[in-house]
Amino acid sequence: MEQITDINYEQIEKSEEYEKLICQIVEKCFKEEQLDKTDLYLSITLSNEEYIQKINKQTRDIDKPTDVLSFPIFEKEEIPKEKTGIPDVLGDIIICIPIIEKQAKEYEHSIERELAYMVVHGFYHLMGYDHIEEQDKKEMRKKEENILSKLEILD
């Protein structure tokens, strides 16, 4: 299988454990959404609070750190479903590791589970899902929980 995840680091240490988990999750997401036969890949940046706060301020005019930011390239209906012969990025996800660690402790589950959730959550934002309206939130949560359940990442 071609590499479908490009993982970058901004102001934090590299983690092979996180990379392995992220690649496993993205592979499952691509398979579930039938993107595994496309030329798409996902760009994920793991960062610290200062970096994500800067991006949050620049892109959303919110001057505080957040757990995850997603930047889709395609509109939902424009996402390629077959090979084009040209690699293309589905979108970019930025995840703040220190915030993930705090949230894992707060929600009383593992850092791996919190990281997995943020990857899946970011992925579905790239796929055009959101959680503003209650019905959309239910649909997005169902898809997120499906992925985590199939990977047996529950706590």
Tokens 């690699």, located at residue: 87
- Asked whether the predicted pLDDT for residue 101 surpasses 70, the reply is yes
Q: Is the pTM of this model over 0.85?
A: yes
Cα torsion through 64, 66, 68, 74, rounded to 10 = -40
Report residue 55: phi and psi, to 5°.
-65, -40
- State the angle between helix axes of 134-150 and 111-126 in degrees (0 to 180), rounded to the nearest 10: 130
Could you read off the pLDDT of 14-37 as tens digits, one per residue? 999 999 999 999 999 999 999 999
More confident: 131 or 54: 54
Contacts (Cβ under 8 Å, ≥6 apart) of 133: none
**What are the extents of the domains in the chain?**
5-150
The CATH architecture one would assign to domain 5-150 is: 3-Layer(aba) Sandwich (3.40)
pLDDT tens digits for range 125-153:
999 998 888 888 899 999 999 999 999 99
